[in-house]
């Protein structure tokens, strides 16, 4: 009998807390989050406004520091790392897709995408190969020499996704990646991310208020008042069926507007 392979843990958060303020004016945003993400998962994070979903993403992604608890990325405990060590972790292991694209207008699409590998030891030949492959998957190869001011919002976000993926990160964080897109561009991006997740086993954690976006995930974690309220797994369900489950959970939570 073939032994089932245990998925590798890419991220593990234990008792993560985050508070702001001091003394008599302390706001507890995250209240003891435990979250394990394995290789190849596509995890959505949802919750009502003020539930802590963006704070959680920023804390897991090393953009912000937890007040308490432990966070491991590829077995590296990032909780107590110094800034220069965190920079190394970001460069080696993490990719980021932001709602507002964060592209440099003075660089072409290709130059923006290649930025992360310019900080590594990857050869020019290998970088060119990676660019051609990821640009083809995302359908932006013909935009290589254009500047961000010359392309649409959907094309900008696919450029941002390519930049996040070019260095083969262990984990990609996406913060409301469809928030600024129209429905057609949003669906296009989500299909791309889902396809990349499936074909290249890229691990993705995505914060979104949109149940349609979450229906592309393999698991959705729902936050309420800084705690994990519930989790839904897609399993063998169709995306349409999973979408309905997400809507039902949102109804129980009382909405899921942006934070």
- Number of domains making up the chain: 1
Task: Write the pLDDT tens digit of every residue in 71-82.
Answer: 999 989 998 899
In a domain? residue 229: yes
CA atoms within 13 A on the CB side of 28: 11
CA distances to 42, 56, 136, 248 from 226, in Å? 21, 9, 39, 20
In a domain? residue 208: yes
pTM exceeds cut of 0.85: yes
Task: Write the pLDDT tens digit of every residue in 112-153.
Answer: 999 988 877 788 888 899 999 999 999 999 999 999 999 999
In a domain? residue 154: no
Contact 159, 112 (CB under 8 A): yes
- 3-class DSSP assignment, residue 184: helix
Angle, vertex CA 37, rays to CA 236 and CA 77, nearest 5:
175
In a domain? residue 121: no
Domain limits at 182?
9-14+30-102+170-254
CATH number at residue 202: 3.40.50.300
In a domain? residue 192: yes
In a domain? residue 108: no
Helices (H) and strands (E) in the chain, counts: 8, 10
Q: Name residue, tokens 């990032």.
A: 78
Q: In this structure, is the dihedral angle defined by the CA atoms of residues 150, 154, 157 and 162, taken in order, positive or negative?
A: negative
194 strand-pairing partners: none
> What value does the mean pLDDT of the chain take?
92
């Amino acid at each position: 009998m073939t032994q089932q392979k245990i998925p590798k843990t890419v991220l593990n958060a234990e008792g993560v807390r985050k508070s702001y303020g001091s003394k008599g004016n302390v706001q507890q945003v995250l209240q003891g989050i435990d979250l394990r993400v394995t290789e190849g998962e596509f995890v959505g994070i949802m919750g009502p406004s003020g539930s802590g979903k963006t704070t959680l993403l920023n804390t897991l992604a090393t953009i912000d520091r937890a007040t308490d608890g432990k966070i491991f990325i590829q077995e590296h405990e990032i909780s107590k790392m110094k800034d220069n060590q965190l920079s190394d972790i970001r460069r080696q292991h993490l990719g980021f897709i932001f709602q507002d694209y964060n592209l440099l207008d003075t660089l072409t699409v290709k130059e923006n995408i290649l930025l992360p590998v310019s900080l590594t030891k990857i050869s020019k030949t290998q970088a060119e190969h990676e660019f051609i492959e990821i640009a083809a998957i995302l359908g932006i190869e013909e935009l290589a020499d254009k500047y961000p001011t010359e392309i649409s919002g959907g094309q900008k976000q696919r450029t941002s996704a390519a930049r996040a993926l070019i260095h083969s990160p262990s984990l990609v964080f996406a913060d409301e990646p469809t928030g600024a897109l129209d429905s057609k561009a949003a669906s296009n991006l989500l299909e791309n991310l889902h396809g990349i997740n499936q074909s290249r086993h890229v691990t993705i954690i995505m914060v979104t208020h949109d149940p349609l976006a979450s229906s592309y995930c393999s698991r959705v974690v729902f936050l309420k008042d800084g705690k994990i309220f519930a989790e839904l797994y897609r399993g063998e369900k169709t995306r349409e069926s999973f979408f309905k489950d997400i809507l039902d959970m949102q109804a129980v939570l009382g909405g899921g507007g942006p934070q």
